[in-house]
Structure 1
Amino acid sequence: MEGQGGFPIIALCFIPFLAFGPMVLYALFVWWFDRFEKEPLWLAAVAFLWGSIPTVLLALCAQLPTTLLLGAGLGQGAASVISSIIVAPVTEELFKGLLVLLLFLFYRREIDSLYDGFLYGSLVGFGFAATENVLYFLGAASARGLAGMFGNFIARAILFGLNHAAFTALTGLGFAAARLSRSLVVQIGAPILGLGGAIAFHALHNTVATVTEAAQSPIFCLLWLPVDWMGALLVFAIAIYGLFRERQWIRRYLREEVEAGVLPESVYRESASFFGRITARGGALLRGDFQGFRRLGRLHHLAAELAFRKHQQTALQEARWEAEIERLRAELRRWTQAPAG
């Protein structure tokens, strides 16, 4: 069934799922992968929604008049190229990064490691990509029908589906590095460097895309994919390093809690192991011990939070965490004494 101009009406049934489905799955995976101290799901949802609605609207409000002014002065061809390579990366990364800045200012306690910065930045990017893909899929379906829409889906949601997340994750990593440092140079320079890296990476991607489209040569397509994937993998590698540092903090700061009788040895070992957590809780789930599954999840979360607060108190010299540390110890004792199943 086709509408006016040859647009396949059935495409409207597919587009929301094709645009948002993969991005929601990617977002859930990076949230799930944060095994040591899970970020609040509501705050993760806010980050995704910020990327999918306010960021898109703000970016359009900035880009449309800028492109019109460039077109009036330089011509439509030059304006299109400049908009793609310079205007879009700058405006989109600035507005996506605004949410990370707000988290840094008002929810800084939730940014405990480099992975947290990566997580919130990538969630904003996935949200932005989902809404942007709606627009691209509509255009592809209108120009080339269902085949064009599904081809665009493979390119934008599968081959290059991590791009916007990788761009803004650099901004998140910059703010996380500032949060975890006592150096004024790092506190000021890391967010600027992270945002600059996000804009540069985004601009590089758009430059290669523009050249590929203009040249219409498969050679550029072969260059495009490795450049994007190498960048995304590098960002992910930095995030993995952040998780490795989290494990080190857990091992260091919880050892004395075991010796003081606050934390059982078994929970200590599980808390410091990515697979140990999964195995312990998975075993309880397979046994049908849902109470034990919930209890272990709470114990692991409290133990990790205690380790991070002690790290902030010791390494970052943030004395305000003393009362929170005592509260976490008391809650750990309560959950340790709770029935196992």
Structure 2
Amino acid sequence: MTMSSTDLAQARFLAIEESGWGRSFTFYQPRNLAFWVYVLLVASGVLLFTARIGRTYGAYSRAILVTAAVFAVYGAIFWWFTQHIDRYARQPTKILVVAFGWGGFAATWAMASYANTALINIYGKVFGHAWAQDWGAGLAAPFTEETAKGFGLLLLIALAPRLVRTAFDGFILGAFLGLGFEIIEDIAYGMNSGASQFGANQVDASLQTVFLRVATGASGHILYTALFCAGLVYLLGRPAEPRRAGRGLLLMATAMVLHGLWDSMGNFTDGSALAAISLIVLIMVIALVIAVRVFALTVPREREFLRRILAPEVAAETVTREEAEAACGTAAARRAFRRSADNRSARRRNAYVLDAVFDLADALATERGEQTPRVEFARAELDRLRQGRPATEALLPVRL
């Protein structure tokens, strides 16, 4: 059955409302308790972190600066990648910064650092000091750290209930919570390594730790928290994501198990370098495969929102059916669309056209489906790129 233009417009409006796509984020909410909880714990974490840096900076300044510089670049790369995969109901940059801040300072310094020490001490009293030395980290950090980061997602839901609507939103915001945790934690690890030889060769010592953390970072906190927070959204349920408690608990448990295996791997290798490297590679591969599968599990709802937003444009022939199917499809579908052209120049143009389709959808969502200058400009840009005209031609009046 073919839908009328009115029905398509109504379906688009409902998709925009359900997804939260295009909504802005207001951080300053003095009447919202979640705002004050966030501010108090992040501020506490910042003070604790800066106090630690201040106490050691005079002796280990080179290690601290080198470590911070490397992880700033590393963090920027992961920030770009995480935003790159969020092609759909894109989260505002402000809420991503807020998520990063919670993961970096509140979850790390104000919560997990204390909880880890307390839980490992309890393990030592119950099971003995030797057991706690071997297994304490692997059986403490997965619970305390993932819970601390997951609490950040709960605060974000309280601060932005119309933005955190699906498990995919939880996946993306979880990645930024984990990114903040990983960057600040890794800076601390690099600083500790610089101090390991009483400050001698502090740069070389810190770089060894830095390179190890960079090499294995793809399967670290970013991944764990993305899985955990996607599961948390499934567990809670959201207006655009029906509650699936079993799936949610499974994802949260999977994140904790991967985290625990990573922190306990020394107990399985008996000091063998080959066994350690093999186990590291195995855990990383398993973690990345799981992350890809969870991404594929959570993203279809976002693609459906995009399809409903673009449907009136397809009916009006502003967007071709092939362009819409590629934009709403998998990475393989987008790749096939780009490669469907005859030559390299045309394939590059197809890639630009797909980007313009996403930009048009973003403009439509931000403007709530209204016909505004921003939307008209996005349509004009799409047509210009499809025709291969220079940028200046999009601003010229059309001759009849």
Which residue in the other structure is 1:208 paired with?
A: 265
Among 269, 282, 285, the residue aligned to 2:323? 269
SS at match of 1:138: helix
Whether the 8 Å contact between 2:166 and 2:241 is mirrored in structure 1 is no
The CA deviation at 1:29 is 1.4
Which residue in the other structure is 1:221 paired with?
A: 277
Q: Within 5 A, what are the aligned runs for 1:186-335?
A: 186=244, 188-212=245-269, 215-252=271-308, 254-256=310-312, 258-259=314-315, 261=316, 264-265=318-319, 269=323, 273=327, 299-303=360-364, 305=365, 328-331=368-371, 335=375
| 1:144-166 Cα distance to aligned partner (Å, 9 max, x none) | 53333222112112233431111
Distance 1:272 1:136, change over 3 A: same
The CA deviation at 1:138 is 1.6
Which residue in the other structure is 1:25 paired with?
A: 77
TM-score (structure 2 length as normaliser)? 0.64
| 1:91-139 Cα distance to aligned partner (Å, 9 max, x none) | 0010011112233444343235443221111111111111111121122
Among 84, 100, 104, the residue aligned to 1:52? 104
SS at match of 1:53: helix
Which residue in the other structure is 1:171 paired with?
A: 228
Whether the 8 Å contact between 2:165 and 2:241 is mirrored in structure 1 is no
Which residue in the other structure is 2:129 paired with?
A: 76
Name stretches of at least 5 consecutive residues in structure 1 with no aligned partner: 285-292, 307-326
**Alignment partners' CA distance in 2, 1:123 and 1:141:** 27
- The percentage of counterpart residues that share the same residue type is 21
Q: CA RMSD in A?
A: 3.5
Amino acid aligned to 2:279: L
Amino acid aligned to 1:222: S
Whether the 8 Å contact between 1:247 and 1:272 is mirrored in structure 2 is no
TM-score (structure 1 length as normaliser)? 0.74
Among 211, 215, 225, the residue aligned to 1:154? 211
The CA deviation at 1:141 is 1.9
**Alignment partners' CA distance in 2, 1:104 and 1:282:** 34
Whether the 8 Å contact between 1:55 and 1:128 is mirrored in structure 2 is yes
| 1:266-298 Cα distance to aligned partner (Å, 9 max, x none) | 5993695267899679859xxxxxxxx9x9775
Distance 1:150 1:39, change over 3 A: same
**Alignment partners' CA distance in 1, 2:306 and 2:358:** 15
Say yes or no: does 1:16 pair with 2:68.
yes
Whether the 8 Å contact between 1:270 and 1:280 is mirrored in structure 2 is no
| 1:220-263 Cα distance to aligned partner (Å, 9 max, x none) | 3212222123212321332145445533443355324543x5x8
Which residue in the other structure is 1:289 paired with?
A: none
Amino acid aligned to 1:174: G
Q: Within 5 A, what are the aligned runs for 1:124-139?
A: 124-139=177-192
Amino acid aligned to 1:17: A
Which residue in the other structure is 1:109 paired with?
A: 162
**Alignment partners' CA distance in 2, 1:234 and 1:216:** 27
Q: Aligned residue pairs: how many?
A: 300
Name stretches of at least 5 consecutive residues in structure 2 with no aligned partner: 1-55, 328-333, 339-346, 381-393, 396-400
